[in-house]
Amino acid sequence: MKSLIEFLEKIEPDKKKSPFMHALYDGFHTFLYAPKAITKGGTHIRDGMDLKRTMVMVVLALQLCYVFGAYNIGHQHFLALGTNTGILEALLPKILYGLMAILPIFIVTHVVGLGIEFWYAAKKGHAIEEGFLVSGALIPLIMPPDLPLWMLALAVAFAVIIGKEAFGGTGMNVMNVALLARVFVFFAYPTEISGDEVWVSGLTKSEGVWAADYGMFAGLYEWLWPAIFEQGRVVADSFSGATPLALAAKGGWDAVAAQYSTSALFWGGIPGSIGETSKPFIIAGALMLVFTKIASWRVMLSMFIGAALTAMLMNAAVGYDTSLFLGVPWQYQFYMGSFFFAMAFMATDPVTAASTNTGKWIYGFFIGMVGMIVRVLNPAYPEGWMLAILFMNVFAPLIDHYVLESNISKRLKRAKNA
């Protein structure tokens, strides 16, 4: 491995003559190896877990969501066609179809996001910042699988430039970058993130009839599995791409239970954003982040408590009427939507969350409370975690300020009493 390091050092571009090439080189080099730089003085500590490697741990925690997301995209596509509807039927074609849907989203996200990062790094004369490693992994997972790629590119550019670089880059952003990309699509192109058909990839509508459309990959699919992939196959009459939350908004838990089993809701065989549907895989990623001490368990637990208590109050307010959204049993609120994904990977962002331990309890609790209120009482869009987290991102510094002021006051009183 020493020879590789020596080779990389020999081909290092000149920083002044080629700032952009040097930024690319530095990003690649520090991705492979931890930086050699150490603190100077009588005592210093070197830690192999630098920021880049910390970010990689979050990316690794997301991989189960990517695997299941690929499978579920294909599964929902075949359910719409009314063929291969079993969980294990046509497993390989479903995964292939899902990968072909995810790859363009993943590539566009990283080409646009990293391209902007590289340009800013070269322009400012500093190393490539690591923050987009996580944002780039999160953005594809929180988008509908059928989102037009040009909209995605605009959303990523907006999030990176306005939400991050305008504030000074990694570690300086006030709001979660990945959520800013989604909120851009939500407000700029609302019809592309709501409705039944946006959650099922590869369908096209002509003269009132939905049919399969495999786009640029049609030839590949038909060559590999000609009996399964047939362009023009008409969607089944019983098809509904409605998410459980959309059903709950119209008919409460009764409407959801009529179409989806609790096991399907829990394991994730339902329409939704690419990475939000499978609760066990998300929880596995969350546990990995907690045990490696990368994410705060205080934020996760307090967010759960805030959402649960708010849902219980809503249940009591309508007399536990399960035909109303307010009456959805509180425990089933966690079976629907993106609560666990938001809790594990969004709310715990160390840059935009509260920093003090007490502040994390307050911050998480209010995300849970505000998110549940927005989810149930918002007439336009039955989900709330995106808006709740961004709202509390803004208040996180204020929460920390008052927590610190309170601690200082208590210590001053103790000092005076002593």
Give a three-class secondary structure readout of 299-362.
HHHHHHHHHHHHHHHHHHHCCCCCCCHHHCCHHHHHCCCCHHHHHHHHCCCCCCCCCCHHHHHH
* Judgement on whether residues 181 and 323 belong to the same structural domain of the protein: no
* Judgement on whether residues 91 and 122 belong to the same structural domain of the protein: yes
User: CA–CA separation, 291 vs 202, rounded Å?
Assistant: 39
Which domain range does residue 168 map to? 51-224
* Judgement on whether residues 175 and 278 belong to the same structural domain of the protein: no
pTM: 0.87
Average pLDDT over residues 136-145: 94
> Is residue 404, in this structure, part of any structural domain at all?
yes
User: What pLDDT digit, counting tens, does each position of 66-77 carry?
Assistant: 999 999 999 999
User: What pLDDT digit, counting tens, does each position of 308-323 carry?
Assistant: 999 999 999 999 999 9
pLDDT for residue 136: 93
* Judgement on whether residues 390 and 357 belong to the same structural domain of the protein: yes
User: CA–CA separation, 334 vs 315, rounded Å?
Assistant: 14
pLDDT for residue 137: 94
pLDDT for residue 37: 57
> Is residue 247, in this structure, part of any structural domain at all?
no
CB 394 within 8 A of CB 183: no
In this model, does residue 44 exceed pLDDT 60? no
* Judgement on whether residues 186 and 71 belong to the same structural domain of the protein: yes
> Is residue 235, in this structure, part of any structural domain at all?
no
* Judgement on whether residues 97 and 202 belong to the same structural domain of the protein: yes
In this model, does residue 166 exceed pLDDT 60? yes
* Judgement on whether residues 305 and 172 belong to the same structural domain of the protein: no
In this model, does residue 225 exceed pLDDT 80? yes
* Judgement on whether residues 89 and 15 belong to the same structural domain of the protein: no
* Judgement on whether residues 256 and 299 belong to the same structural domain of the protein: yes
Report residue 210's pLDDT band, with 50, 70 and 90 as the boundaries.
confident
Average pLDDT over residues 147-161: 95
The rounded percent of the chain whose pLDDT value lies above 70 is 86
* Judgement on whether residues 7 and 55 belong to the same structural domain of the protein: no
> Is residue 237, in this structure, part of any structural domain at all?
no
pLDDT for residue 1: 47
* Judgement on whether residues 369 and 273 belong to the same structural domain of the protein: yes
* Judgement on whether residues 302 and 412 belong to the same structural domain of the protein: yes
User: What pLDDT digit, counting tens, does each position of 342-370 carry?
Assistant: 999 999 999 999 999 999 999 999 999 99
> Is residue 85, in this structure, part of any structural domain at all?
yes
